[in-house]
Amino acid sequence: MPEPLLRVAALDAHYGDFQALFGLSMTLGQGEVAAVIGANGAGKSTLLNAIAGLIRSRADSIRFDGQDIGDEPANRVVARGIALVPEGRRLFPSLSVEENLLVGGQLHRPGPWTLGRIFELFPVLGERRRQASTSLSGGQQQMVAIGRALMSNPALLLCDEISLGLAPIIVRDIYATLRRIVAGGTAAIVVEQDIGQALAIADRVYCLQEGRVALEGLAGQVTRADISAAYFGV
């Protein structure tokens, strides 16, 4: 049995005295997509930030591609092939669209993603490459954030609420693009409060509640009722 691409084991996370994650475990195979669903404050961003190295943890609580990486800083984690699309996008406001994308590619990890490929994926970004990222619509800014993450040629893409605040038709487009990205073999963890899109793209589902996994299963096997119960804790 080959080792999974990602194994989170007994992960705790604290902010000062406050404990945000309690012994959290999850597994993701090569090229798989996991949806992480949960209410505001459940610990979804903390989990992604821990995997991405923005929050340090015990080395062996996060294992990726055969290595314990829980104690590694974010730049090392990016170099290993994990890229985060952060909550709220966090674009560099003083930089153009193209410059924001190039920031994501500065480690020059080998792989298929180049500026040209990002502009094929999101043609509107090619048209607006010289514009300030702040002059774009919310949906276009989300495309820049996704493109910036892809520029590091990740084996695992972490998406933190990429649909937040966007119109349903834009969300549908972004998820259609995400489907193309994962069809190319990139694994992903998709964090959402809105379960519809995330469930449709996922192989596995994890519902978080107050820092713990309240429900996990194969996407085809957990029902909406199961998820609602785990989500609302009823």
Residue 57 makes contact with ligand ADP by CB under 6 A: no
Residue 46 makes contact with Mg ion by CB under 5 A: no
Min separation Cβ 178 and Mg ion, Å: 18
Residue 209 makes contact with Mg ion by CB under 5 A: no
Site string for ligand ADP, 8-37 (x = CB under 6 A): -------x--x-x-----------------
Annotate 169-204 with b (16+ C-beta within 10 A) or e (fewer). ebbebbbeebeebbeeebbbbbbbeebebbbebbbb
Q: How far apart are CA 146 and CA 35, in angstroms?
A: 17
Nearer to ligand ADP, 18 or 93 (CB): 18
95 and 103 Cβ atoms separated by less than 8 Å: yes
Site string for Mg ion, 145-174 (x = CB under 5 A): ------------------------------
Residue 45 makes contact with Mg ion by CB under 5 A: yes
Residue from 41, 88, 185, 233 in contact with ligand ADP (CB under 6 A): 41
141 and 89 Cβ atoms separated by less than 8 Å: yes
Specify the DSSP class assigned to residue 40. T
**Residue 100 exposure: Cα atoms within 13 Å on the Cβ side:** 32
Q: Which residues bind ligand ADP (CB under 6 A)?
A: 15, 18, 20, 38, 40-46
